[in-house]
Structure formats: C-alpha cells, structure tokens
Amino acid sequence: MSLLGKAFIVTGGASGIGKSTVRKLLELSAQVHVLDISSKIPTHNGLAGQQQSYPKVNISSRKDVKAVFDRIAAQNNVQIAGLVHCAAILRPTETSEAGDENLCQLWDVNVAGTWNVNTEFHQLVKSSRVPGEVDSIASIVNVGSMASVRGIPGLAGYVASKHAVLGLTRCFAQSWASAGLRVNCVAPGAVNTPMIQGTMDTAPVAAAYKGALKSIVEPEEVTEAIVFLLGKSSSAITGQMVEVNGGWP
C-alpha cells in the first residue's frame, strides 16, 4: 500500500498513538502535517514521505486551529486525504474543586478540540474537493477510547469527554457524507503511552482496563486500525467505532 501523492493531518503527533501514526504514514510515502501542543515534535528521518511540523498548536482554540489549517491549505500541492485526530488529555475528576478544574480542561481539549479540528478539516476538504470524483473522498479518524462506551472509576470527566468524541463522530459522518467525508473513531483500551502512566495504580481502575487477550496494547497496534480506516479498503465504513482493546468484556 502506497500513499504517495496524498497528504494527511495528524494532531497530537509528538507522542503516543499520534507519533506512531505519523511514522507509519511516512513509511507509506505520504505527506504528513503534524500538529501538537508541544514545542518539540520528533522528526522521522530516512522515511519515504515528507513531514511538516506545527508545534505549540492549542486545539482548544479555534483561532489556532484555523490559522494552521489555512497555512496547510496555502502550501499544500497534493490531495488532502485524511485527518487523524489524536490530541487529548487525561485528568482525574473526583468531586472536589480540583475535579471541577480538570473537568473544564477535559472539555476544552477533548471535546472543543475535536469540534475545532474536525470542523476546520471539513471546511478544508469542502473547498478542495472535486464533485463526483471518488478519489477526492477524504477520511477522518478520531481517537476515542473504551471510555467512549464504558464507565471508569474516578475518570468521570474523561469518560464524558470521550463519549462526546464518539457522538460527534457519528453526527459528522451523517452530516458530511455529501461533502465527500467519511468519519470514524478508533477506541483503544489502555495503550502503552505516557498518558496512562499512573492511571492504573488502583485496583478498580486496573480491573476496568482488563482485557481477555492483553490489558495494554501498543500504539502501533492502534495505528494499524487507523491506517485501515484512512484507506480505500474501508470505503463503505463511516460513523463507526473500531475497538482496539485486547478483548475488553
């Protein structure tokens, strides 16, 4: 499979699933625009594709997101084929003042961020799509979580935000099909990334993350599902959630 001549935007591309996805797309000869809140975005040298990095992008800011997407549109000379939205945060939300603050942060990044990135990508695709051309159909893959469909003790705010990501995915899939957009969601369980460090230290949370095959999956395993949803092999799939969790009950 080659993605030569196609461009993709990846948010949260500095680490975890985002970093793994950037590398895979570059291996497949794609042009990859990498966004992250971090000031340092890794450069993957020696691969077939081309990488353009945009550090310090706050996805909770519509202004920030629009500015970057405008830059991408102005300089891009190949087909914009997809968006992989990985950027997110994880915070505990107990019933306390600190929990209130964390809830607001979760909503700003995980929900408003998903709204901002998806809707700006929709505008980008709509302005560049050639009506009637199947090859101009683009794909969005949002990274949700098993928290999109389950409750996890102590993580109510995160769970609510990831439920919202799935809800937005399903609504966008219905609304934007006529614009040539497929919108799907991958739902990992616990992934071996910096985000989950410390979150499985308590027995109730560890039990919630227990999978039949394995309890922790690798970022590369999630990336494989993402790349499938970006490609032509999933051309009839939209508005769906693909679970990558090692066999959660």
31-35 vs 50-54, strand pairing mode = parallel
Going by the DSSP 8-state scheme, the letter that residue 28 receives in this structure is T
Beta strand spans in the chain (E): 6-11, 31-35, 50-54, 79-85, 138-143, 181-188, 190-191, 216-217, 241-244
Q: What is the dihedral of CA 217, 218, 222, 227, to 10 degrees?
A: -150
Element (H, E) at 125: helix 113-128
* Residues ≥6 apart with Cβ < 8 Å to 63: none
Cα–Cα distances in Å, from 81 out to 107, 111, 141, 175, 200? Answer: 28, 23, 11, 18, 36
Q: Which of 8, 54, 158, 248 is catalytic?
A: 158
Whether 54 is catalytic is no
Active site amino acids? 158
